[in-house]
Chains A and B, each alone.
Chain A
Amino acid sequence: MTLTRKTAAELASSIKSGEVSAVEVTRAHLDRIAEVDGPAESGVHAFLHVDTDSALAAAAVVDQKRADGDELGPLAGVPLALKDVITTADMPTTAGSKLLEGWRPPYDATITRRLREAGIVILGKTNLDEFAMGSSTENSAFGPSRNPWDLTRIPGGSGGGSAASLAAFEAPLAIGTDTGGSIRQPAAVTGTVGVKPTYGGVSRYGLIACASSLDQAGPCARTVLDAALLHSVIAGHDPNDSTSIDQPVPDIVAAARKGADGDLSGLRVGVVKELGGEGYQAGVEARFNDAVALLSKLGAEVVEVSCPHFAYALPAYYLILPSEVSSNLARFDAMRYGLRLGDDGTRSAEEVMSLTRGAGFGAEAKRRIMLGTYALSSGYYDAYYGQAQKVRTLVARDFDAAFAKADVLVSPTTPTTAFPIGEKVDDPLAMYKNDLCTIPSNLAGNASASFPCGLADEDGLPVGLHVMAPVLADDRLYRVGAAVEQAYAAQWGGTLLEQAPALDGRRGESATADRGVVS
């Protein structure tokens, strides 16, 4: 099996045993990126920046440590694709925006630091919707990423680059961030695994803020165990993030290993009645129903639960999120970092600020800033923002009631499979509906994940099983995910991604040259 097809756990173990070097592993992935990622106009375009030199140097350090007899961590030497909304002192960080094109942050995010300390090799930075706002990567200022299952379709968003890099076998691990579904929806539409940890479970220090009360970074991988291993590297308390939870992280790796036994007896699974029906693609519902039947077969007790306020989660989210966004994105003022336009000695700071922001932000960022400015303005605050915050309380109470009847809840991750690029780009309401099932967990802060559960009959594209667990019960996601994964592997004779079409090789660029920003 080629190195790029192996799981992160397999790669780490081969590196540890000396069967293969970390440099060889990194080079194999850089070669694969050179083969399928470009050109930006027609390739997978998962990456905005690939840093060949520093990746190979980081891999060489792992090989040296092994030669010196040092203890290696469980993912040492394994390559990773980092969403370009997380700061890296040695690579540009753009958040998919023209406003930050070429920006070199003066510091590493806590996530970045933890990855480096674990010996994980950061290959580069992945594409996203501008400031992580979108469900398709079409809002990236640097052009969309493409779904490896069908290059004419979206890979989800905002973390479409991270998910596409996994599905294209460019990296075995990736980091995503999830404000309303940006880890889980891309995972669902690319046939990969994505976990949104409990809010506060992973530090936000160095994560460029979208909506601070909702944002949460998490692991993306091709297998449940790999996601658990990565989760345990990045999770844990960070004094630099005042919302970081100062409690032990549940033993998610043990949960993933336990789940792989395929025994879910004693587990109560709640099917959320409201997350299905009208607006859901038939093939998505069919695969979801199969997954529920499978959970029963694995010993789980399946019950139906009702969460009546989930219907209002989407509208509440599209008031709360833009309000926070309009405030957070005020920091892009053309004064301290990023783009500055029109500073000709005659214009005032305010005029330069407006010109820069008007030209620098894309259409969706502007829409959300304007919406938030409206929702927070006097006269509308109570009716919109204030009311949305009350709905947020009701959504959390629905979860509490449901978790009294079930240990985990399930739904489809997204109402549809991957749609064609361009189809919804100027139809914001249609685009927002992608996050119908994922948003409630962001509002309530509980842990959720998406696991592959098959292909829709009508289009042959991946469907995701959405599993929701209570706050700080992230381990339950991994137990369920691993149990489902092993059952499907037996049924399909392998992983879902093995059914994905092979991408045409477009070998041309040298993998050993720094490709820089490929936008």
Chain B
Amino acid sequence: MPSISREEVAHLARLARLDLAPDELDHLAGQLDQILGAVAQVTEVAADDIPPTSHALPLTNVYRDDEPRPCLPAESVLAAAPAAEDGRFRVPQILGEEA
């Protein structure tokens, strides 16, 4: 049965870009441990020679004709943005000051 430490939970939260409060980390550590213990049952199944399924039904790649189509008007897309400037999404700084 896997066991997951509070430090690992904090690391996962950083990977997932989730700013979690200390009490949330504590609570989640216990719950994730419990859930992982339950889902680890899949490892009991002998399946070495079984191919994995990523998708319910077999899929083939689909191409469409290379013809221009109208896209959404920029105004209607930017209307839903948290911030926009000069017809573009305005975002916080991406690089640190020292970069």
Complex Cα gap A199–B54 (Å): 13
Complex Cα gap A433–B57 (Å): 25
Complex Cα gap A361–B18 (Å): 9
Minimal Cβ-Cβ distance residue in A for B60: A242
A-chain residues with CB within 8 Å of residue B64 when the two chains form the complex: 239
Query: B72 touching A106 by the CB < 8 A rule?
Result: yes
Complex Cα gap A355–B14 (Å): 11
Minimal Cβ-Cβ distance residue in A for B29: A370
Q: Count of chain B residues with Cβ under 8 Å from any Cβ of A? A: 57
Query: B52 touching A392 by the CB < 8 A rule?
Result: yes
Complex Cα gap A359–B19 (Å): 8
Query: B92 touching A366 by the CB < 8 A rule?
Result: no
A-chain residues with CB within 8 Å of residue B56 when the two chains form the complex: 199-200, 213-214, 396, 442-445
A-chain residues with CB within 8 Å of residue B52 when the two chains form the complex: 386, 389-390, 392-393
Q: Count CB-based A-B contacts (< 8 Å).
A: 178
Query: A377 touching B15 by the CB < 8 A rule?
Result: yes
Q: Which of B31, B55, B57, B83 contacts A340 (CB 8 A)?
A: B83
Query: A353 touching B17 by the CB < 8 A rule?
Result: yes
A-chain residues with CB within 8 Å of residue B79 when the two chains form the complex: 104, 106
In this complex, the interface size class of chain A, counting residues with CB under 8 Å from chain B, is 35 or more
B48-79 interface bits toward A, Cβ cutoff 8 Å, 1 = contact, 0 = none:
00111111110101101000000011001101
Task: Determine the main DSSP class of B at the interface with A.
Answer: loop
Complex Cα gap A291–B38 (Å): 32
A-contacting residues, B13-36, CB 8 Å? 13-21, 24, 28, 31-32, 34-36
Complex Cα gap A245–B76 (Å): 30
Complex Cα gap A123–B27 (Å): 40
Task: Determine the main DSSP class of A at the interface with B.
Answer: helix
Query: B42 touching A388 by the CB < 8 A rule?
Result: yes
Complex Cα gap A333–B96 (Å): 18
Complex Cα gap A27–B35 (Å): 47
Binding site for A on B (CB under 8 A): 4, 8-9, 12-21, 24, 28, 31-32, 34-36, 38-45, 47, 50-57, 59, 61-62, 64, 72-73, 76-77, 79-83, 89, 91-96
Name 11 interchain pairs, CB-CB below 8 A, sorted by A.
Answer: A106-B79, A367-B32, A369-B18, A384-B40, A389-B54, A390-B52, A393-B51, A394-B45, A396-B53, A445-B55, A445-B57
Q: Known contacts A312-B45, A348-B95, A390-B45; can you find 5 more A-B pairs with CB under 8 A? A: A242-B59, A336-B89, A355-B19, A393-B50, A444-B56
